[in-house]
Structure 1
Amino acid sequence: MKNLPNHVTILTPPPGTDIVGTIQFVHGMAEHRQRYIEVMNFFTLNGYVCAISDLRGHGDNITRMDDLGYFGEDGLNLLVKDIHDITLYLKGSFPDLPFFLIGHSLGSLIARVYAKTYDSFLTGLILTGSPSDSPVKGAARILIKGLSLFKGARYKSPFMGNLVTGPFSRKFPEDGSCNSWITADPQVWRKYDSDEKCGFLFTLNGYEVLMNLLAAVYSPDGWKLNNPALPVVFLSGEDDPCMTDMAGFLKAVQTMKDAGYINVTYRIYKNRRHEILNDYEKEKVFEDILEYLTV
Structure 2
Amino acid sequence: MKSVSTQQRSGPEFEGVSFVLAEDGHEIPLRHWPVEHPKALVHIAHGMSEHSGCYADTAARLNAAGYAVMAHDHRCHGLSVPIEALGEISDTQHWEAVCADMRSVNRYGKSIYPDAPWVLLGHSMGSFISLAFAERHSQNIDALILQGSNYEAPWFTWSAHWFAKFECWRQGENSRSPIIHALTFGKFAKAFGTDNTSYNWLSRDNTFVQRYTNDPLCGITCSNGFWRDFLVGLSRTQRMSNLRKIRNDLPVYSFAGSKDPVGNDGINVAILDDKLETAGLIDVTMKIYEDARHDLFNETNKDEVYEDLLSWLDDTLLRVAQPACELKPQQEPTAWLAGNG
Task: Specify if TM > 0.5.
Answer: yes
Contact 2:257 2:265 in 1 (8 A): no
1:110 aligns with 2:129: yes
Contact 1:62 1:68 in 2 (8 A): no
CA offsets per residue over residues 159-187 of structure 1, 9 Å max, x none? 11111222111011269962110011001
Q: 1:281 to 1:2 in 2, by over 3 A?
A: farther
1:288 to 302, 308, 330: 308
Q: 1:66 to 1:277 in 2, by over 3 A?
A: same
Tell me how far 1:208 sits from its aligned partner. 1.2
Match of 1:242 in 2: 262
Contact 2:151 2:238 in 1 (8 A): no
Match of 2:274 in 1: 254
Tell me how far 1:261 sits from its aligned partner. 1.1
Tell me how far 1:120 sits from its aligned partner. 0.6
Contact 1:235 1:267 in 2 (8 A): yes
Match of 2:58 in 1: 39
Tell me how far 1:207 sits from its aligned partner. 0.8
TM-score, L = length of structure 2: 0.80
1:228 aligns with 2:248: yes
Q: 1:110 to 1:49 in 2, by over 3 A?
A: same
Q: Distance in 1 between matches of 2:86 and 2:211?
A: 22
TM-score, L = length of structure 1: 0.92
Q: Distance in 2 between matches of 1:233 and 1:71?
A: 33
1:183 aligns with 2:215: no
1:214 to 234, 247, 256: 234
Q: Distance in 2 between matches of 1:2 and 1:285?
A: 40
1:264 aligns with 2:288: no
Match of 1:150 in 2: 170
Size of the alignment, in residue pairs?
Answer: 292
Q: Distance in 2 between matches of 1:278 and 1:73?
A: 34
1:53 aligns with 2:72: yes
Q: Distance in 2 between matches of 1:164 and 1:176?
A: 9
Match of 1:93 in 2: 112
Identity of aligned residues (%): 25
**Unmatched 5+ stretches in structure 1:** none
Q: 1:213 to 1:94 in 2, by over 3 A?
A: same
Q: Distance in 2 between matches of 1:24 and 1:78?
A: 18
Match of 2:93 in 1: 74
Tell me how far 1:191 sits from its aligned partner. 1.4
1:7 aligns with 2:25: no
1:273 aligns with 2:300: no
Q: Distance in 2 between matches of 1:151 and 1:112?
A: 31
Contact 1:172 1:180 in 2 (8 A): yes
Q: 1:143 to 1:286 in 2, by over 3 A?
A: same
Give the AA of the match of 1:220: M
Give the AA of the match of 1:278: N
Match of 2:151 in 1: 132
Give the secondary-structure state (helix, strand or coil) at the position aligned to 2:240: coil
Give the secondary-structure state (helix, strand or coil) at the position aligned to 2:296: coil
Tell me how far 1:137 sits from its aligned partner. 2.1
Match of 1:123 in 2: 142
CA RMSD of aligned residues (A): 2.0
